[in-house]
Amino acid sequence: MTARVIAVSNRKGGTSKTTTAVNLAAALGGHGARVLMVDLDSQGHAGLGFGICAAPKDTTVHDHFQDPATPLAAGIRRSAFANVDVLPANRSFAGVTTATPPLGLARALAPLAAAYDAIIIDTSPSADALLVSALAAADYVIVPTLLHHLAVDGVGQFARSYFRVAAGLNPRLRGLSLLPVQVDLRVTMQRETRARSPRASERDGCSPGSGQILPSPKRSNSNNP
């Protein structure tokens, strides 16, 4: 059985995206699943979460975007966490320097899939070729988000990229899950944002699978926290 590929993504930074990816990988590994953590964010924090940082001449996932013929297996490092391997980032990566097909990363990861139960891709908060490549390689996407109107707007921007890739490049991309983080329902704005979740929308007769972007919440009482 080949690995299921899970991208952890959002267009907005500061939404605990890397924290989610690292903890998901560690939890799956702790339950016996073989996991490959792919650090596609050039900050390299997912790799650092497992104590791994690539040296200047080490193979990284970003090498694929400079030379698509690079065998990514050469960059895989075993972590100290049970069943978790890491394909680290190039923290000096300055952007794509060569024409890379949108499905190139999916093809590069395919030879690795048989060795793992899950491949988790931590992406950067952008809409560049790396995000498109991650979505084109993924089976599922987790979108960590704050319950805040600006974060919801970022989810809306991300969802447009998601549906474009799912409709054109990657018909296997079937699952999109929103993950609220740093939740404090004593805050009015968080309660209002949560009430506008896809589940609430579904109760009103709108399927989350339709691709509808929910409107940003407005605070009903500015005197409340």
Q: What pLDDT score does 195 carry?
A: 72
Q: What distance in Å separates the CA atoms of residue 155 and residue 13, rounded to the nearest whole number?
A: 11
| Contact predicate 201/212, CB 8 Å | yes
**CATH number (domain holding residue 118):** 3.40.50.300
Residue 218 falls within a domain, yes or no?
A: no
Residue 162 falls within a domain, yes or no?
A: yes
Residue 145 falls within a domain, yes or no?
A: yes
Q: What pLDDT score does 127 carry?
A: 65
Q: In the structure encoding, which two tokens stand for residue 100, read together?
A: 């890379």
Residue 197 falls within a domain, yes or no?
A: no
| Structural domain containing residue 25 | 4-186
Nearest to 106 by CA among 71, 133, 72, 79: 133
In the structure, what pLDDT confidence band is assigned to residue 222 with cuts at 50, 70 and 90? Answer: very low
pTM for this one?
0.83
Residue 216 falls within a domain, yes or no?
A: no
Residue 113 falls within a domain, yes or no?
A: yes
Residue 200 falls within a domain, yes or no?
A: no
- In the predicted model, is pLDDT for residue 213 greater than 50? no
pLDDT digits (tens, 9 = 90+) for 139-197: 999 998 888 777 777 787 888 889 999 999 999 998 888 888 887 778 777 677 677 65
pLDDT digits (tens, 9 = 90+) for 91-101: 999 887 677 78
% of the chain with per-residue pLDDT over 90 = 54
Q: What's the whole-number mean pLDDT along residues 115-127?
A: 91
pLDDT digits (tens, 9 = 90+) for 11-40: 877 788 999 999 999 999 999 999 999 999
DSSP string, 151-170: HHHHHHHHHHHHHHHHHHT-
Q: What pLDDT score does 223 carry?
A: 45
Q: What distance in Å separates the CA atoms of residue 130 and residue 145, rounded to the nearest whole number?
A: 20
Q: Which residues pair with 121 in a beta bridge?
A: 7, 38
Domain count, the chain: 1
Q: What pLDDT score does 49 carry?
A: 96
pLDDT, mean over the chain: 83
Residue 84 falls within a domain, yes or no?
A: yes
